[in-house]
């Protein structure tokens, strides 16, 4: 191998070190491949550094702050609860450092090399990497996994700078805004709105559609909206954000709401209207690698593109832009390169929104199950009848099971309420293993626990509603 005008030969190359890329790299190394990761910014990608992990750390801190101030009903009198936001940010950053450091240690353990820079494909077996000093080096490879992720969409008249923030900027504020506008009521915008409302901001959400959290069913969203109302969050749907004008003191957001133009003043505005795949300016067209009209890369059941030795996973492919989806696909791609017959074959892809009242779904909704030809039914149990939820003071929401009437096989589940992100795991496993609602009902759940609401919903499904 010679550095310079000659190419350096590599085996398996992964572009991107996010939750898709780093999992793919580690699993490929576990399978005996010699792996090299190309990363232009940071190990762990958006998720670990400026997305999933720091946002959940901020959300958790906000929960604790609210609990400290509003636990009088339990007999807890906190007389001097104060928020030191600088300390909160330090703690958030420490969480990020632990996880990114852990990934770096795993790379070292598995002898995974990291090349820093941006990759540009030359052909089906070679690429060039340009580092931050504009130094370039050519590499050849046997197999390639594209795991470059996505970036926030920037809308007209809301250029990301100063007081106009994307999700990354929203997680890097030095103080809690007194007033905050969030453009976009999807899961990222809603999570950030919920966190900052709990930290003390007066939050306004401007959503262009007819509902926030449009990918979730209406009755789930209504529970979240009630909590937003209790937090003092104003939600405007069918609202068109037209422009943002900022100065040293704040930002004025002009929006058309119900046909009327309004100006909302705030300290900052967060724009969260979706994400686009990072597939431009890396030479895909040059080598004939197919993309669709959205810039997504079509792949087969093994995450293989139209070029047989090049794979694509995560946000650059069709489907939900979820970290765990990317990790799953990364394992499939690594095994496909090793010649294993693994394919993408999941029946349920869980999704979670970590608002103050969290939402989690997996598998099919009732309408989706009926559209798929099932004679589907639902069974629902409220947290208001669950002993653990009552003892926690967290009785909002419910667990819903969707199942086939004839076979009683579980087809899907939806949860809104405390710890929905943890409860959905059992139901995802149940769907993947072909379990019936009777299997769930006959599984002993510890008492008292939130998980009993899953069992109680299953009891309702089989006709024995013991606890309601």
Q: Distance (Å, rounded) from C-alpha 194 to C-alpha 356? A: 6
Residue 138 burial by CB count (10 A; 0-12/13-18/19+): exposed, middle or buried? middle
**Torsion angles phi and psi, residue 158, rounded to 5:** -135, 55
In this structure, are residues 412 and 372 in contact, taking their beta carbons and an 8 Å threshold? no
Helix ranges (DSSP H) in 393-467: 420-432, 437-441, 452-461
DSSP track, 417-433: STTHHHHHHHHHHHHHT
Tell me the sheet residues that pair with 347. none
* DSSP at 155: P
Question: Is 90 labelled a binding residue?
Answer: no
* DSSP at 71: -
Question: Is 191 labelled a binding residue?
Answer: yes
In this structure, are residues 199 and 214 in contact, taking their beta carbons and an 8 Å threshold? no
Instruction: Say how many CA atoms lie within 13 Å of 17 toward its Cβ.
Output: 28
Question: Is 315 labelled a binding residue?
Answer: yes
Question: Is 150 labelled a binding residue?
Answer: yes
Candidates 27, 67, 445, 447; catalytic one: 447
Question: Is 412 labelled a binding residue?
Answer: no
Q: Distance (Å, rounded) from C-alpha 429 to C-alpha 198? A: 33
Whether 110 sits among the annotated catalytic residues: the reply is: no
In this structure, are residues 294 and 125 in contact, taking their beta carbons and an 8 Å threshold? no
Question: Is 363 labelled a binding residue?
Answer: no
Question: Is 148 labelled a binding residue?
Answer: yes
Q: Distance (Å, rounded) from C-alpha 124 to C-alpha 212? A: 43
Question: Is 184 labelled a binding residue?
Answer: yes
In this structure, are strands 310-312 and 143-146 parallel, antiparallel, or unpaired? parallel
What is the distance of C-alpha 420 from the center of its chain? 14
Question: Is 390 labelled a binding residue?
Answer: no
Q: Distance (Å, rounded) from C-alpha 52 to C-alpha 55? A: 5
Question: Is 101 labelled a binding residue?
Answer: no
Question: Is 190 labelled a binding residue?
Answer: yes
- Provide the token pair at 194: 């919920």
- 439-445 own/partner pairs: CB under 8 Å, 24+ apart: 440/401, 440/410
Q: Distance (Å, rounded) from C-alpha 397 to C-alpha 34? A: 48
Question: Is 396 labelled a binding residue?
Answer: no
Q: Distance (Å, rounded) from C-alpha 197 to C-alpha 193? A: 6
Query: Of 423, 373, 422, 431, nearest to 402 (Cα)?
Result: 431
Q: Which residues are annotated as a binding site for FAD?
A: 56, 148-150, 315
Which residues form the catalytic set?
A: 447
Q: Which residues are annotated as a binding site?
A: 56, 148-150, 184-191, 207, 274, 315
Q: Which residues are annotated as a binding site for NAD(+)?
A: 184-191, 207, 274
């Amino acid at each position: 191998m010679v550095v310079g005008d000659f190419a350096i030969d590599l085996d398996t190359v992964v572009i991107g070190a996010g939750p898709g890329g780093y999992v793919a790299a580690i699993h490929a190394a576990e399978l005996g491949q010699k792996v090299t990761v190309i990363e232009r910014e940071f190990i762990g990608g958006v998720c670990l550094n400026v997305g999933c992990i720091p946002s959940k750390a901020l959300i958790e801190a906000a929960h604790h702050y609210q609990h400290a101030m509003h636990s009088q009903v339990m007999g807890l009198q906190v007389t001097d609860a104060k928020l030191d936001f600088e300390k909160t940010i330090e703690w958030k950053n420490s969480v990020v450092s632990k996880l990114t450091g852990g990934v770096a240690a795993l790379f070292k353990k598995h002898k995974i090399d990291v090349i820093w820079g941006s990759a540009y494909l030359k052909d089906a077996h070679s690429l060039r990497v340009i580092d931050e000093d504009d130094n370039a080096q050519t590499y050849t490879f046997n197999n390639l996994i594209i795991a470059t992720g996505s970036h926030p969409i920037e809308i007209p008249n809301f250029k990301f700078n100063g007081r106009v923030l994307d999700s990354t900027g929203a997680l890097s504020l030095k103080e809690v805004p007194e007033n905050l506008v969030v453009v976009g009521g999807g899961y990222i915008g809603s999570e950030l709105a919920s966190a900052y409302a709990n930290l003390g901001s007066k939050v306004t959400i401007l959503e262009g559609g007819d509902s926030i959290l449009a990918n979730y069913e209406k009755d789930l969203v209504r529970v979240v909206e009630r909590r937003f109302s209790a937090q003092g969050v104003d939600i405007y749907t069918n609202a068109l954000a037209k422009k943002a004008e900022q100065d040293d003191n704040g930002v004025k957001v002009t929006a058309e709401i119900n046909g009327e133009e309004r100006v909302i003043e705030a300290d900052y505005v967060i724009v969260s209207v979706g994400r686009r795949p990072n597939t431009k300016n890396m030479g895909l067209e040059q080598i004939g690698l197919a993309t669709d009209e959205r810039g997504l890369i079509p792949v087969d059941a093994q995450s293989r593109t139209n070029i047989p030795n090049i794979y694509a996973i995560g946000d650059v492919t069709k489907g939900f832009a979820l970290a765990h989806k990317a990790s799953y696909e990364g394992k499939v791609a690594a095994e496909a390169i090793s010649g294993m017959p693994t394919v993408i074959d999941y029946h349920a892809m869980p999704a979670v929104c970590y608002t103050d009242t969290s939402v989690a779904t997996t598998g099919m909704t009732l309408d989706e199950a009926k559209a798929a030809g099932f004679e589907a039914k639902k069974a629902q149990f409220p947290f208001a009848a669950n002993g653990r939820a009552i003892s926690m003071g967290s009785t909002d929401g419910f667990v819903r099971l969707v199942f086939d009437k004839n076979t009683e096989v579980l087809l899907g589940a939806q949860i809104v309420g405390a710890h929905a992100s943890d409860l959905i795991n059992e139901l995802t496993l149940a769907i993947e293993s072909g379990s019936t609602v009777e299997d769930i009902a006959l599984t002993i759940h510890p008492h008292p626990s939130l998980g009993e609401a899953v069992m109680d919903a299953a009891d309702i499904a089989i006709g024995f509603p013991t606890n309601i």
